[in-house]
Amino acid sequence: MIEFSNNVARLEPSATLAITARAKAMQAEGLSVINLSAGEPSFPTPEPAATAATAAVAAGKTGYPPTPGLPELRSAVARYSAETTAAANAESSNILVGAGVKQVLFNVSYCLFGPGDEVLVPAPYWPTYLATVHLTRATPVVVPLDWSDGFRLTAATLDAHRTDRTKGLLLNSPSNPSGAVMGRPDLEEILAWAGEHDVWVLSDEIYRRLYYGKGSATSVLDIMDRPSRVVALDGMSKTFSMPGWRIGWGVGPPELMAKASALQSQTTSGAAGPSQYASAALLDSPERESIIENFRSALERRRSESLKVLQQISNIEVYDQPGAIYHYLRLRNGQTSVDAAESLLTQAGVATIPGEAFGTPGYLRITFAGADELLTEGIRRIAEYFG
């Protein structure tokens, strides 16, 4: 047996990717499995992005891009942030581009947190947050939230988990898996609390534009008097349905972004060039907002249609949450969620993710971002299973 280093002592493969891989393997064996586990929008890559990528490759623009990102992409991200939040003064030096939010989150976390530090992670959480904090060898401190108030996070709840070692807080609104979206007053209070206690806030806003309520989901960049220790993370994977292109970015203080870029220069050398050309062209495209709105409204329809059916199923409860691409189902049939997910997969032929993966046993996450006919059939199987 290989003796692995302490760096990876707590490392597990991504549970969500593992279930998705298992569902795909079952499909390859010829079994009928509807995959509602992957958080992947079903839309094709928008045309301006695909055209720009092929043009860049045809023009031979395939050398190493600058480590923190192509200048045109960093300035496109700055413009996009300024146009869609109150971050009017974001500059390229505030922006680090990486191979997805995952990479930027890791780089920034690795630069800020280390042994002895504590990082607050509200639950239910995206599993990568825990893994990332473990990789920095800091300690994640899970902050359990309640179903009864829609998994609302407040400064008071955070303060109950704060110690003099608290160095960071991972926020995710709209949330994967719950779909919950933080209201502006709560976010303002949390940022003020973080400023008061010198806590770094890493705000993963990858679902910010996939919001089905009135107005728009609040970004940390919308809070004008936010403290300086704040990083907003976003990318191409969800809003633009481009997860395979692997482009994400952080908007934060230049000194931190430069350090995270130095880390990137010694690890991946940054994100793939053609993907960066594709992303810059799409962010700057006059069609950008109509493309987002087409995706968003298709998802909104899938969300409300599937919600109606799910609300009729007697052994589960479902919240009408306004963001992201998931329904988080609460089980009422006495089964553990691991068992329910296993029998749903093997008996009913539908792949879901059990709540254990998100730090909240007793729930199942399904995505409504897949194609209509698969979603309808998947939910029909879930309804049949729960009776």
Nearer of residues 100 and 349 to ligand PLP, judged by Cβ: 100
Nearer of residues 39 and 69 to ligand PLP, judged by Cβ: 39
CA distance 204 to 132: 13
Answer whether 271's CB lies under 8 Å from 99's CB: yes
CB of 203 to ligand PLP, least distance (A): 11
Q: Where are the beta strands (DSSP E) in the chain?
A: 34-35, 95-98, 118-123, 139-144, 166-172, 200-204, 230-235, 248-251, 316-318, 326-331, 350-351, 353-354, 363-367
Q: Which stretch binds ligand PLP (CB under 6 A): 96-104, 130-138, 274-282, 301-309?
A: 96-104
CA distance 78 to 57: 25
CA distance 247 to 101: 7
Give the sheet arrangement for strand 166-172, strand by strand. 95-98, 248-251, 230-235, 200-204, 166-172, 118-123, 139-144
Q: Which stretch binds ligand PLP (CB under 6 A): 76-84, 94-102, 138-146, 330-338?
A: 94-102
CB of 292 to ligand PLP, least distance (A): 16
Nearer of residues 162 and 238 to ligand PLP, judged by Cβ: 238
CB of 250 to ligand PLP, least distance (A): 11
Selected binder of ligand PLP within 74, 102, 288, 365 (CB under 6 A) = 102
Per CB under 6 A, does 201 bind ligand PLP?
A: no
Per CB under 6 A, does 204 bind ligand PLP?
A: yes
Nearer of residues 166 and 239 to ligand PLP, judged by Cβ: 239
Per CB under 6 A, does 124 bind ligand PLP?
A: no
Per CB under 6 A, does 172 bind ligand PLP?
A: yes
CA distance 253 to 229: 7
CA-angle at 125, arms to 227 and 298, nearest 5°: 95
* Contacts for 324 with CB less than 8 Å, ≥ 6 apart: 174, 175, 176, 177, 178, 179, 207, 210
Selected binder of ligand PLP within 75, 178, 237, 239 (CB under 6 A) = 237
Per CB under 6 A, does 270 bind ligand PLP?
A: no
Residue number, nearest CB to ligand PLP: 100
Per CB under 6 A, does 328 bind ligand PLP?
A: no
Per CB under 6 A, does 276 bind ligand PLP?
A: no
Looking up tokens 């079994």 gives 31
Answer whether 65's CB lies under 8 Å from 270's CB: yes
Nearer of residues 13 and 387 to ligand PLP, judged by Cβ: 13
Positions in the binding site for ligand PLP (CB under 6 A): 39, 100-102, 126, 172, 176, 204, 206, 235, 237, 243, 248
